Chain A
């Protein structure tokens, strides 16, 4: 992935295989010899953490599927069967259910890292767009997974989300019936969601390969946001990045384990322990926490089609970010105004998340509308204008200088990195 490798295994057997399939050389050049910027901080460890999350979800998911029954009559019971009867079933299910939340915590940190340090900018546009695609696939996978236990929240979440497509003029209802395989969320819906929930993680894994490939082609961004100029700016992936990634991963596992072992239902919803009832909607339905900001945007718009478009638009906008933020300076460290707007944007997203869990009435609706408007203004107005009006701070001459700082200062280059 990063050019030809000089890797030569010592063992004659491995030399024999290496000449026929140079997979060890690929691993060596990608994860051992690969040069990483020497100034990477802990925000850069979330790529590894996310790979770990994907692996955990796939492994626990495969074994849960050995005990789960995708039928309207059997789904809820089989989940309780996993919890009570299957050896370590409680552990596997709690890891899988909380693992989804951990995956989203990590991916949101990873995305905001990219936003702060300008990781979406030239030449990383494709890398960034692949990330947006992974995020969309994750949302689809998580949504379908939440339907499988067939509790009240599963059923009504599935109903509300699939009904989003009914907002499409003309063919909306036909599309919804195609998704359902009937006239309401029922057996065919559950069964196909199970099939797709099993498929999508492997598609995510495929796009992750492209994401890592693109990353290794253009090289990692770094906290200074300037390009690698010499060998002094980098350290080899192993041991430096591997050690740092592993340490961060262990810390993350402790956090993960705390949820699994101490508060396994904290992020879930009690109503999902009531079997699905197609004739009664729970009085207060909310999606999982990681969808709340988008749910708030959906509800903020008083028109059905408008709300649906705004919600999908809020995610689609991310893909256009490299062309909305035209500033040549990547890192927020050297963009004083951008940095302030970044934090306002973070508060906006968190605020939308909080509002998404509140009932859609009174002051909550007004607040949702203000924050939704700001969300779009940030991308469509603030970032393009900042690109022209902001005066960035001088950039360090090199990555090495930005960390060591004891070298003679080169003239500051305001125009940005080469």
Chain B
């Protein structure tokens, strides 16, 4: 056997192997991709909420894409607290302004899923009067920003818009 000169047989082995590997990968993809969110799950991607019954100081929870979304009707004091907080005190710096819609500062809409490991935080609790996650002790402020605890990020703001003054469309 002369190992130095590649033969036609070597070429055939490698070509066969390569085609086989590509074929196996192509066959594997549908088997993996079937696990991703399907069309019916993606179709449930938008929710409309009427805000008229939500009083000042109240937080309601609605369901969007299977997750809780908190809609907080913030008091003047709560807004003030959120606006006044210096950015250097925040682990994930974001201004309160960037987390609400202009002219609708009283409405805070955030996904009610702790950014640590996905528990639902409790409203009007914790050291910063926002939310407190009972699972591993993360504290969020009145803008839903992480202040203390293991969670790395602020509560996520979902895509939403005001369809009218009292109607919000999430998603």
Interface residues of A (CB under 8 A from B): 156, 159-160, 162-164, 166, 177-186, 188, 192, 278-285, 299, 302-305, 307, 359-361
Contact = CB atoms under 8 A, between A and B. Distances in A.
A178 B36 contact: yes
Interface in B98-118: 112-113, 116-118
A162 B35 CA distance: 14
B134 A188 contact: no
B117 A278 contact: no
A279 B61 contact: yes
A303 B119 contact: no
Interface residues of B, number: 27
Contacts of B32: 178
A160 B135 contact: yes
A179 B117 CA distance: 15
B65 A279 contact: no
A304 B150 contact: yes
B30 interface: no
B151 interface: yes
A283 B137 CA distance: 11
Given A160-B118, A361-B137, A279 B37 contact: no
Contact of B134 (A182, A192, A281): A281
B35 A178 contact: yes
B168 to A, nearest CB: 18
A307 B151 CA distance: 11
Contacts of B116: 163, 304
Contacts of B118: 159-160, 162-163, 166
Contacts of B119: 156, 159-160, 281, 285
A359 to B, nearest CB: 8
A284 B135 CA distance: 6
Given A284-B134, A304-B116, A360-B136, A278 B152 contact: no
Nearest to A174: B36
Binding site secondary structure of chain B: loop
Given A181-B41, A182-B65, A164 B117 contact: yes
B67 A304 contact: no
State the 3 A-B residue pairs at the shortest beta-carbon distance, nearest first.
Answer: A184-B66, A163-B118, A183-B65
Given A182-B65, A283-B134, A192 B117 contact: no
Nearest to A284: B134
Contacts of B137: 359-361
Given A184-B66, A278-B66, A159 B117 contact: yes
Given A181-B35, A279-B68, A304-B150, A188 B120 contact: no
B150 A184 contact: no
19 contacts: A159-B118, A160-B118, A160-B119, A178-B32, A178-B36, A181-B41, A182-B41, A183-B65, A183-B67, A184-B65, A184-B67, A278-B68, A279-B61, A279-B63, A279-B112, A280-B120, A285-B134, A285-B135, A299-B150
B35 A186 contact: no
Contacts of B35: 178-179, 181, 188, 192
B36 A303 contact: no
Contacts of A178: 32, 35-36
A181 B37 contact: yes
Interface in B63-104: 63, 65-68
Contacts of A282: 134
A181 B65 CA distance: 12
A303 B152 contact: yes
B165 interface: no
Contacts of B38: 181, 188
A177 B136 contact: no
